[in-house]
Amino acid sequence: MKITIIGTGYVGLVTGACLAELGNDVFCLDVDQSKIDTLNNGGIPIHEPGLDEVVTRNRAAGRIVFSTDIEAGVAHGDIQFIAVGTPPDEDGSADLQYVLAAARSIGRYMTGFKVIVDKSTVPVGTAERVAATIQSELTSRDVSAIFSVVSNPEFLKEGAAVEDFMRPDRIVIGCDDSPHGDIARERMKTLYAPFNRNHERTYWMDVRSAEFTKYAANAMLATRISFMNELANLADRVGVDIEAVRRGIGSDPRIGHSFLYAGCGYGGSCFPKDVQALERTAQDYGQDLLILHAVEAVNAKQKQILGGKIKKRFGEDLTGKHFAVWGLAFKPNTDDMRAASSRVLLMELLSAGASVAIYDPVAMTEAKRVFALDFSDMPHLLEKIRFAADPMDALTQADALVIVTEWKTFRSPDFEQVKLRLKHSIIFDGRNLFDPAAMTEIGVEYHGIGRSVLTRI
Ligand code: NAD
């Protein structure tokens, strides 16, 4: 099928590449010329396991092209995916300016029947706004082309995006109950047929319910994390090991094991903004989502947990102290640092007078960009960040090691080397990577999250 993807970011590029891999003829459009140039020169603007190979293979086969030519992009696809960003607006609601700009582009250039697919995460009622925007462009051109707007939210996880897209556990599609909606449903059925060969994975529903489903999913996952983080802090006080509790409750099939890990808070481009946007939608309809207020508040506090533990150990004034930080990305296998806990930690440590040596396997370039922005008003603090060459290099003469992201490469370090390099054998572990008892045994002072009963700290 002929597909156009408007917005070639994480979701758009992965969607385009995977649909090309299945034999579709894909046109990836973006307004960012440098991103398109990178792709056309054989580069990949994001770090995502397996993506490079899929893009390279399909570009060589002529099944995927990258361009900023809006008119050509709109002319190309019978199905037009909108996969642009929906960042938070000042009031927390989803900023729809990019989605509506994409809709305007479609309306400005479309001729025959088009299926428009909202892949971006958008609040309930957005498909109606997209349809009205397209219609208004068509009317101003005096063109009577027809279209149907479909909601097909994306559930891929950064770091496993290609795998998630190729083997989805579910596909949610909301279509209008109308003759045009029926045509759209048939086209979507054909497009997604390869994913349903083994068993049916598609959940068909109305458009508004599909839009809502994405927010409900992310809000539920964020809630599980904040719930466990709050219990972990209590576990530290009452002398309980949160990891034992996690295993104990996760074995209940009604609860399950996923997303129950205590840590130093969730980040990324999705959970924080989607929780806020759902709260905002509720307020617009006169309802207060009390649980989600708490989820956000707990998470904001949890991002400060490592800084708090460090200050409790070394004192509020960290002047002259130096820390090694392992992990900067908001989670492993990505270079995405949007709303990452590492940013809160660095702000806290540097503001209290400390210096840091930081390391992340893939997010170093992004970290340089992000910290230059975070500390643009405080260049003297930026000077206290050393970008280390590798994890061991970061440790040199540090008062403690602080772990923020659970990269695999951090899981089994040579602890003798770690102890040799550090000034003091102290680890603050924001992701509970190590066994506290084993750490005590080898002479490491270990501070995990919700596990102090095992180290008697
Ligand atoms: P992104 O910022 O990585 O990419 C968005 C792209 O859209 C950018 O390249 C931007 O230049 C381009 N763009 C903006 N306006 C445009 C326009 N008018 N025409 C063409 N291109 C335009 O964003 P993302 O992370 O891919 O997220 C996209 C959407 O998918 C968001 O709504 C997000 O919430 C949702 N989502 C993201 C993830 C994720 O893990 N990143 C997962 C599921 C859903």
- The secondary structure of 168-207 as a DSSP string is -S-EEEE--SSHHHHHHHHHHHHHHGGGGSSS--EEEE-H
CA distances from 30 to 61, 90, 180, 390 (A): 21, 25, 27, 35
Choose one of 269, 274, 275, 337 to mutate for the ligand 1 pocket test, by most ligand atoms within 8 angstroms of C-beta.
269
Supply angle C-alpha 312, 374, 311, rounded to 5: 5
Residue nearest to atom 27 of ligand 1 (CA): 85
Task: Identify the residue with better confidence: 359 or 92.
Answer: 359
Residue nearest to atom 3 of ligand 1 (CA): 9
**315-352 burial: b if 16+ Cβ within 10 Å, else e:** eeebeebbbbbbbbbbbbbbbbbbbbbbbbbbbbbbeb
One fold for both 2-205 and 222-454? Answer: yes
Domain boundaries in the chain?
2-205, 222-454
Task: Tell me the mean pLDDT in the region 103-109.
Answer: 98
Report the distance separating Cα 293 and Cα 208, nearest Å: 23
Q: What is the pLDDT of residues 246-272, one digit of tens each?
A: 999 999 999 999 999 999 999 998 999
Task: Tell me the mean pLDDT in the region 404-414.
Answer: 97
Q: How far is the CA of 36 from the centre of ligand 1 (A)?
A: 14
Task: Tell me the mean pLDDT in the region 327-351.
Answer: 96
The set of protein residues with a Cβ atom below 6 angstroms from ligand 1 is: 6-12, 29-32, 35, 83-86, 98, 101-102, 120-121, 154, 156, 158, 269-270
Q: How far is the CA of 99 from the centre of ligand 1 (A)?
A: 9
Name the pTM for this structure: 0.94
The share of the chain scoring above pLDDT 70, in percent, equals 100
222-454: CATH topology: Rossmann fold (3.40.50)
**Catalytic center residues:** 270
pLDDT at residue 457, rounded to an integer: 59
Q: What is the pLDDT of residues 197-239, one digit of tens each?
A: 889 999 999 999 999 999 999 999 999 999 999 999 999 999 9
Question: Which helix H or strand E contains 64, and what residues bound it?
Answer: strand 64-67
2-205: CATH topology: Rossmann fold (3.40.50)
Confidence of residue 90 (pLDDT cuts 50, 70, 90): confident
Q: What is the pLDDT of residues 29-80, one digit of tens each?
A: 999 999 999 999 999 999 899 999 999 999 999 999 999 999 999 999 999 9
Task: Tell me the mean pLDDT in the region 374-394.
Answer: 97
pLDDT at residue 455, rounded to an integer: 86
